[in-house]
Structure 1
Amino acid sequence: MDAQPLYDLSPALQLMALGVVVALGPLAWVWLRNRQASAARRLSALTLLTLFLTFDLVLFGAFTRLTDSGLGCPDWPGCYGQASPLGARAEITQAQAAMPTGPVTHGKAWIEMIHRYLASGVGVLILTLAAATWWLRRRGTGEQAAVLNPWWPTATLVWVCLQGAFGALTVTMKLFPAIVTLHLLGGLVLLALLCRQAVSYAQAKDGRAPLALPPALRAGLAAGFALLWLQIALGGWVSTNYAVLACAEFPACQGQWWPPMDFRQGFELWRELGKSGSGEHISFAALTAIHYAHRLAAYLVLAVLALLAWRLHGAGLRHQARWMAGLAALQLATGLSNVVLGWPLLAAVGHTGGAAALVVVFTWAWCESASSPLPLGEGGVRARGARPYPEGEGVRP
């Protein structure tokens, strides 16, 4: 059988049509449930639903990666030049017969293509949000004040197109670890963009302003968010390099507190899967370094999450604080399960879902808050060490 080209655009129009079909269900649901609502209210509902479906897409992307289905169809955007595995039955059967446990099987092909169908549907929904927001803003009606700045959904549309490009590179570069990790991070950025828009619509609907936080707490929230992104990147690097089982016990690793590790090779970013930059097979010490770096960073991140949840609860962001604390506990449980239970699929997907949910919660907390200066003391001078807010409450500007 001739080698399949990495890019085969012949089924592109069919895949775009399938994306429209996938998107029609959510669009019809929003329309039917909000028939009597204003156009701005419908946009708000569609944004929230798109956020939910994008979260589901991130979870299904993790499922695709963890079931080794990322190369279930070795070309892009279709499957052996077809819009579905049904049209590629002969090619998939031949590949599966040659390697029964290899990357191409009927089951893996369907998982990979369903992921692409879902991604296309989410792309259509984001395109709809961008187009509808611009259209409503240009109408100049009284609803205009309740409509989000159209540049946010436009930026989201640009970003989802970039995500599509990274999805293509994930296949054509044969699960290159740096590309797969960036694809995961890009999906979480998409969640943050949609969450920002959903919060803005909710604030406009309820007529509320962000809650003022002490500057130190606001800075701590930003620092915690930055640490979370770093930890997710480390976790993605663990997963894409299949380094989870390099340490199969806790709290020690390989019977030692500091096992043999090769950080230089482990964090050599631009290399093929399973290879070093020089083309040699990656060492077990490098995989151990990848795993242990993520584990050590997790101790710091969990401590920061616990502290932030406590402080945010006292400052008035109680819902966000409770979600943050609960998700931190979930991450600890699923992370430990991955290690001591041998990387079970449910725990692995749940660990990715917990990380994605934490990105949403941090974005929610950031958008629902604002920094406020210290109160003025006598003579208009800001007092040092003064408590700027009543006990347990933030101050709304």
Structure 2
Amino acid sequence: MNRIWRYLSVFATIMILIVVLMGALVTNTGSQAGCGSSWPLCNGEMIPTEAQKHTIIEVSHRYVTGITGIAVVIQAVWVWFKWRSKETRILAVSSVFFLVLQALLGAAAVIWSQSSYVLALHFGISLLSFASVLLITIVVFEKTYWKTGRISFDLSKGVKWNFVLLGIYTYILVYSGAFVRHTDSSLGCTDFPRCNGEWIPPIVSRAGIQYLHRVLALILVIWLIGTLIYLLKKHKDIPLLSIGLLIAIIFVFLQALSGIFIIQTNMMLVFLLLHAFFVTCFFGILVGLTMVTLRKHTK
């Protein structure tokens, strides 16, 4: 029976990742209005009769989200009653809450026009939904498969707070990236590393929005590398933490590389989707590391 629940958890995690990427596909292909202003129906129909590209993309996103929602709710209910710990119950509630919130924000964007500030929240909420499901999956494997059981480390408050602040800062960075896209600022800078031939472009402009996102990303890279160096020096006895952070940094560099290619290829769709994929993987790893560092260490 535990094997079935592990399969379900992996399925839910993969599906929520697909939902995030399909949301990026909807945004980057301009398919938000593929079903008109109708929700949950598509142009007033359950199955649209007109198979236009934007309609297919939008309605497919809705169907996949619905299937994913069923899997996430089943997973959440099971872990709620299976393990009555505070951690699992918080994660169970979070996974359902953020998935529903994500769907409601998407519905609101269809039915009513939304500002760029609100639209940029959608991707960030999607990441929180993915992270919640991923963390539940980690807990499921800890309790039913891994012989090591519950993962925890003996760390100082400073290290714990560092990971918490890294997570918060990353979320701000993700929001800035989504804001770049929803304000059509992806090509505000047409070169790299400079911006339109300048090191500091006018801040109140599309170039300024793009430039601010770059600066925030650079700060994150420096912060992550500094954290990794500290862990390698002070916590050589915890290789899992350093290896996890190294993998996270690799995803950050891949995300930056895909961002450069977005500019160089004039926003080719494959690089836009890779950009969303890499940041989702990075965020998931970082949140997973944050969870295990915050746990009370038990020998």
Answer whether TM exceeds 0.5 for this pair: yes
Tell me which residue corresponds to 1:303: 222
- Matched residue SS, 1:333: helix
Paired letter, 1:223 = L
Instruction: Determine if the alignment matches structure 1 residue 256 to structure 2 residue 198.
Output: yes
Q: Distance in 1 between matches of 2:225 and 2:30?
A: 34
Q: Displacement, 1:202?
A: 2.5
Tell me which residue corresponds to 1:58: 20
Tell me which residue corresponds to 2:40: 77
Q: Displacement, 1:231?
A: 0.6
Q: Distance in 1 between matches of 2:124 and 2:118?
A: 10
Q: Distance in 1 between matches of 2:9 and 2:165?
A: 27
Identity of matched residues, %: 20
Contact preservation (8 Å) 1:247, 1:254? yes
Aligned partner (choices 255, 261, 267) of residue 343 of structure 1: 267
Aligned partner (choices 173, 178, 186) of residue 236 of structure 1: 178
Tell me which residue corresponds to 2:57: 111
Contact preservation (8 Å) 2:191, 2:263? yes
Contact preservation (8 Å) 2:221, 2:252? yes
Contact preservation (8 Å) 1:152, 1:193? yes
Q: Displacement, 1:336?
A: 1.3
Paired letter, 1:338 = I
Contact preservation (8 Å) 1:58, 1:187? yes
Contact preservation (8 Å) 2:245, 2:286? no
Paired letter, 2:207 = T
- Matched residue SS, 1:77: coil
- Of the structure 1 ranges 213-222 and 49-58, higher mean CA displacement relative to structure 2 is found in 213-222
Q: Distance in 1 between matches of 2:71 and 2:108?
A: 23
Paired letter, 1:116 = R
> TM-score, with normalisation over the residues of structure 2?
0.88
Contact preservation (8 Å) 1:245, 1:339? yes
- Matched residue SS, 2:154: strand
Q: Displacement, 1:151?
A: 5.0
1:1-397 correspondence to structure 2 within 5 Å? 37-38=1-2, 41-74=3-36, 75-86=38-49, 89=50, 106-134=52-80, 136-137=81-82, 149-174=88-113, 176-205=115-144, 206=147, 207-262=149-204, 285=205, 287-312=206-231, 314=236, 315-316=238-239, 317-370=241-294, 397=299
Contact preservation (8 Å) 1:191, 1:359? no
Q: Distance in 2 between matches of 1:245 and 1:176?
A: 20
Change (3 A) 1:128 1:371: closer
Q: Distance in 2 between matches of 1:199 and 1:77?
A: 32
Q: Distance in 1 between matches of 2:61 and 2:110?
A: 13
Contact preservation (8 Å) 1:70, 1:175? no
Q: Distance in 2 between matches of 1:226 and 1:342?
A: 31
> TM-score, with normalisation over the residues of structure 1?
0.67
- Matched residue SS, 2:187: helix
Contact preservation (8 Å) 2:152, 2:295? no
Q: Displacement, 1:150?
A: 4.2
- Matched residue SS, 1:245: coil
- Matched residue SS, 1:83: coil
Q: Distance in 2 between matches of 1:298 and 1:150?
A: 33
Q: Distance in 2 between matches of 1:151 and 1:358?
A: 22
Q: Distance in 2 between matches of 1:153 and 1:42?
A: 18
Q: Displacement, 1:183?
A: 1.2
Q: Distance in 2 between matches of 1:221 and 1:171?
A: 36
Q: Deviations over 1:302-334 (max 9, x none)?
A: 111222334445442144123112102201211
Paired letter, 1:218 = K
Tell me which residue corresponds to 1:8: none
Q: Displacement, 1:173?
A: 2.6
Give the aligned length. 290
Contact preservation (8 Å) 2:221, 2:249? no
Q: Displacement, 1:371?
A: 7.1
Q: Distance in 2 between matches of 1:251 and 1:152?
A: 40
Unaligned runs of 5+ in 1: 1-36, 93-105, 138-143, 263-284, 373-394
Q: Distance in 1 between matches of 2:291 and 2:211?
A: 33
Q: Displacement, 1:109?
A: 0.5
After superposition, the CA RMSD in angstroms is 2.4
Q: Displacement, 1:145?
A: 7.5
Change (3 A) 1:227 1:73: same
Tell me which residue corresponds to 1:380: none
Q: Deviations over 1:214-242 (max 9, x none)?
A: 33322222222122111101001001111
Paired letter, 2:280 = A
